[in-house]
Amino acid sequence: MTVQSIAAYYSLFLVVVGTTMNLLTLIILLRPVFRHRKLKPTIYYMRVIVVFDILMLYGWNLDHYLSAIQGFTIQRLSIPVCRLMSFLNYFAPQSSAWLRVFACIDRYFIVSRPHETWLSSSKNIVIIITCLLSFIAVLNCQFFILGCSYNTNGTISVLSPSFKVYPLWDYINLGFYNCLPFIFMVLFNSGVIYYLSHLYNINVIQRRSVSVTLIITTFLFLVMTVPATIAFAFFSTANSALLAFLDSLLYTYHITSFPLYLITFGDFQREFYKLITCHKNHRQVLPQHFIVQYKKPMNVKSKDPP
């Protein structure tokens, strides 16, 4: 079996396994314990991230399998489909990356502010997500207008007749999907680490669990996505086997939410166990700043009202 065949079947593996795990992740995050949206704002971002991680698998990743094994690609079925898939191939990863950025920003304000902030409101989180996705959609909307064309032999080309899409949009994608999100993730996660290291005198297990998950996500984001984006932007004619490996690594990142949450996120672990054992639980987890620990002073007698 050739390297291209292995990469192709691995792409199919990512579609099947990744879709299953991401759907399971979404089901768990929608369980009652996570439904107190006003008190668990980060879960909002985590749910939407899972949706875009699923969409990621059905663009170029699936076409790697279809092209090598079946002899066709979804992107070249028709001009409308070509434009839609060209848009999705950039919109989905960029949305996934920036949603992770805002999840890190949310954690930073949760651990650094003792009281609720404007960002903690569920209504405001919906506004933030809507505005963010709208901006990214506008950034890539040129694919619907100028993307794709017919070749002289009647086949469909992913290139635009109006301007040179590639590698221009690969350069833009490198900055907007990798560089800027990674900088912001590192910046706000550094703040999270700082504040968590100074919260040793209070109960912060709930805060640490989600925050550690996001910090690990940032490290994996750097290791698994940046090399592939750089390679396709500047070394697209390099060794095909190396490019296939880096591309597979990038898409693998977008199926890591389930195992990562299962290892590092305590509430997720418990809900997964209850789900597979059909155990019902409607307990809602409150953030730590809503938990007040009271200890009655010693040697103080209560006074009866007059």
DSSP string, 111-169: HH-SS--GGG-HHHHHHHHHHHHHHHHHHHTHHHHH--EE-TTS-EESS-SSS--TTHH
Q: Is residue 282 part of a domain?
A: no
Q: Which residue has the higher pLDDT, 57 or 265?
A: 57
User: Considering the chain, what percentage of its residues have pLDDT values greater than 70?
Assistant: 80
Q: Is the pLDDT of residue 305 over 70?
A: no
Residue 144 has pLDDT above 80, yes or no: yes
189-210 average pLDDT score: 64
Quick one: how far is CA 265 from the chain centroid?
Answer: 16
Does the pLDDT of residue 20 top 50, yes or no? yes
* 296 in a structural domain: no
Query: Quick check: is 292 in a domain?
Result: no
| pLDDT band of 168, cuts 50, 70, 90 | confident
Tokens of 169: 């949009």
Phi-psi group of 198: left, alpha or beta (phi > 0 → left; psi -120 to 50 → alpha; rest → beta):
alpha
Distance CA 299, CA 297 (A): 7
pLDDT band with cut points at 50, 70 and 90 for residue 91: very high
Parallel, antiparallel, or unpaired: how do β-strands 149-150 and 156-157 relate? antiparallel
**Residue pLDDT, tens place only, 2-19:** 777 888 899 999 999 999
pLDDT of residue 160: 76
Range of the structural domain that residue 229 is part of: 3-277
Q: In which band, very low, low, confident or very high, does the pLDDT at 84 lie, cut at 50, 70 and 90?
A: very high
In a domain, 303, yes or no: no
- pLDDT, tens digit, 9 for 90 and up, residues 212-264: 777 888 888 888 888 888 888 787 666 777 888 888 889 999 999 999 988 88
Which pLDDT score, from 0 to 100, does residue 14 have?
94
Predicted local distance difference test score (pLDDT) of residue 32? 82
Q: Is the pLDDT of residue 165 over 50?
A: yes
Which of the residue ranges 30-39, 167-176, 211-220, 288-297 would you say has the lowest mean pLDDT? 288-297
Integer CA distances (angstroms), 301 to 205, 293, 297, 304, 306, in order = 34, 20, 9, 10, 15
- The count of structural domains within the chain is 1
Residue 236 lies in a domain: yes
Tell me the pTM.
Answer: 0.82
Quick one: residue 182, left, alpha or beta (phi over 0 = left, psi -120 to 50 = alpha)? alpha
67-77 residues labelled b (16+ CB within 10 A) or e (exposed):
bbeeeebbbbe
Rounded-to-integer distance, Cα 124 and Cα 121, Å = 5
Across residues 74-103, what is the average pLDDT? 91
Residue 305 falls within a domain, yes or no?
no
Residue 187 included in any domain: yes
Residue 125 lies in a domain: yes
Spatial contact of 191 and 207, defined as CB atoms under 8 Å apart: no
State the DSSP code for 39: T
Q: Whole-angstrom Cα distance, residue 295 to residue 227?
A: 53
60: helix, strand or coil: helix
Question: For the chain, what is the mean pLDDT?
Answer: 81
Flag whether pLDDT at 145 surpasses 70: yes
Distance of alpha carbon 121 from alpha carbon 46, whole angstroms? 16
Tell me, what CATH number does 62's domain have? 1.20.1070.10
